[in-house]
Structure 1
Amino acid sequence: MIFLYKIFNFHWILRCLAVIFLFINLTNCAIFQRKNLILVNAVEENLVPKDDSAKIWASPFYIPVGILAGALDVFVVHPISVIPKAANDTLNALWTDRNNLPYVTRMGVIPFSLLLSGPMFTLSWSYHWLFEDSTEESKGFRPNKTLTTEEWISKLEIALESNSNEEIGDLLNLCELNTKTDKQIKLLIKVYQKYKSNARLNLSSMALYCLLSKGYYNPTIEDFVVQIFLKDHSLDIIYNNRNNLVAYFIQNRSQKGSKALIEMLSDESLNNRWIPFIVDNLFIFGYKEEKDEIINRVIKKKYSI
């Protein structure tokens, strides 16, 4: 054994085997999935000849280019493409959904959030780069894109009752394919109400998008958006979606909407970040009485713009 040990460096051999084993496992991971090899796919589509004999003659050209493209895909393009996902995970895990916490507790959590943001981002980025498999085959339920509005409503009702969040998300992704009936509008409002305090799932934002995407006027949607501004303006989800929400008022020149924004200004708990946004938009679509109210408040120096 001593003789063999002197001839072969077993530690070096074990390290090589470990690297080979790791590489074999990684070939099934995200960095080697075809959907993530954008440049390699482009090389195959545009540089590789279809004729077999031409492939042989052209191989000295496209093979090196393909290897370079693969290296760029794995170590540059794909890692950069998953940065938004990692940033979103970090924000959702450490910086959002704290509105229900007391002020002192929220302030006390900030140093820990700052401390953990770097490691959290790194771990999330590494996961999305190396291991995330978001191919359609790896996901569970995928609704048929030919669902009728009635089928879509039925499936969403069942998913809500069973708290199947992934299925709800899949169905919300298909909302544009279905006509907005009154029942569908009420169901989307129900989704928003159920998940508005859970920013991590993003289902409430998806429901808002579905309600506002068509753009046509509906009194139920108008009343719903008014109530959102009046009652939920403290939620980050509303502030983050403020432009889409107020666009509904602007498009329909909603007097209810302009009055709701004026009423928000009278709310003592209103965050000051809302004031410039409200004033700007009231001068865009507000009626004369709302504009006069803004001017009177400025004259009285109740706030500055």
Structure 2
Amino acid sequence: MTLKFRRRNFFTILIFLCISCWNCAIFNRNNTPLIVRVEKHLVPEETVPKVLAAPFYLPVGLAAGVLDLFIVHPILRIPDAYRDTISALWTPQPENGYMTRMAFLPFSVLLTPVFFIGDLFFRSAFDVNGNVDRARIEEVPEKKVKPLQQALSEGDRATILKCLSSYTYYEPNTLYAVLEAYPSDEEIRQLAFVKLVSALNARTFPEFEDFLLSQLNRDARTDRLLLGAFRRLSSKKASAEILRLLRTGSVPEALAKDYMIAVIYIGNEKELQYILDRIRSDKIKDGR
């Protein structure tokens, strides 16, 4: 058996597996725009004209299907694969410190093309992109999800948890209302707090800046999340508060470096000088 024959068999089997899979992307009309256009513009609705025109639209439809499968749909999935790659390899996790992120950087660089190509192939082959083809499941009624605001007003804890666990964006004011409504529910508060911090931008941050500062120096996970937000939004008020905590010695030793790095990013000249002096002092104490 020649290498060429084996290679041909391999690709034939691969294509067959992709097409025969029940969750194959090509069976979703949203993933086959060319086939949809052929069906819409070239296939007659009446039976007799449809039969007579079959020799024309069937080859065109087959060509459109091949183009959809191997060119059009993969191109449509490039943004999704890009977002997956950035999220998996290049988005820092709040619980990871600066040194951990720097140590993982070479692996991120090496894995990026592999992850991107693999993710693109998977999304191109299988219908996992969230663009539901309602025509295929029209007999199944779409389940309505209760909005977060409604669940909050009704005190529906289960729905609130479901909303907060989803990838849906919520306005900071809504998330802050959740925090106020559930002051002692740690599960809800943790989810709402993470979403709140992630949702803030330069426009909305000042309204919640004092609240976020009041949450500083409570636990390691919250601190790293907040420090990342303060750095991202260049909070001068946060820099002053972080420096105050460092000076009073109330910051745990394990988080001291994270606090100092935050000041280095957003602090003024005087605050930076304090950090440099402290680093020198620590080196002297360590005998370095």
TM-score, scaled relative to structure 1 = 0.52
Encode CA deviations 1:93-152: one digit per residue, 9 max, x unaligned.
Answer: 222234433433322211112122222222222221112433376xxx964268795447
The separation in 2 between residues aligned to 1:23 and 1:108, in whole angstroms, is: 38
The answer to whether 1:208 aligns with 2:192 is no
Q: Which segments of 5 or more consecutive residues in structure 2 lack a partner in the other structure?
A: 1-5, 183-187, 217-224, 244-261, 270-288
Encode CA deviations 1:228-248: one digit per residue, 9 max, x unaligned.
Answer: 599766436994xx6xxxxxx
Q: Is the 8 A contact 1:26 1:32 kept in 2?
A: no
Equivalent residue number for residue 59 of structure 1 = 54
CA shift for structure 1 position 59: 3.1
The answer to whether 1:186 aligns with 2:193 is no
CA shift for structure 1 position 192: 8.1
**Percent of aligned pairs with the same amino acid:** 26
Of 77, 83, 100 in structure 1, the residue corresponding to residue 78 of structure 2 is: 83
Equivalent residue number for residue 96 of structure 1 = 91
TM-score, scaled relative to structure 2 = 0.54
Instruction: Please report the RMSD computed on the Cα atoms of aligned residues, expressed in angstroms.
Output: 5.0
Residue type at the aligned position of 1:223: E
Residue type at the aligned position of 1:32: F
The answer to whether 1:235 aligns with 2:228 is yes
Equivalent residue number for residue 285 of structure 2 = none
Of 121, 126, 132 in structure 2, the residue corresponding to residue 131 of structure 1 is: 126
CA shift for structure 1 position 188: 7.3
Equivalent residue number for residue 158 of structure 1 = 158
The answer to whether 1:224 aligns with 2:215 is no
The separation in 2 between residues aligned to 1:148 and 1:104, in whole angstroms, is: 37
The separation in 2 between residues aligned to 1:228 and 1:160, in whole angstroms, is: 22
Encode CA deviations 1:50-97: one digit per residue, 9 max, x unaligned.
Answer: 222332343344333322221221111211121222222222222223
More relative contact order, 1 or 2 (CA 8 Å, 6+ apart): 2
Q: Is the 8 A contact 2:18 2:126 kept in 1?
A: no
Residue type at the aligned position of 1:56: V
CA shift for structure 1 position 39: 1.6
Aligned length: 221
Encode CA deviations 1:14-51: one digit per residue, 9 max, x unaligned.
Answer: 97995686265336412332221112112212332222
Q: Which segments of 5 or more consecutive residues in structure 1 lack a partner in the other structure?
A: 1-10, 198-202, 243-259, 276-296, 298-305
| Compared CA separation, residues 76 and 123, structure 1 to 2 (3 A) | same
Equivalent residue number for residue 166 of structure 2 = 169
The separation in 2 between residues aligned to 1:229 and 1:50, in whole angstroms, is: 65
| Compared CA separation, residues 88 and 184, structure 1 to 2 (3 A) | closer
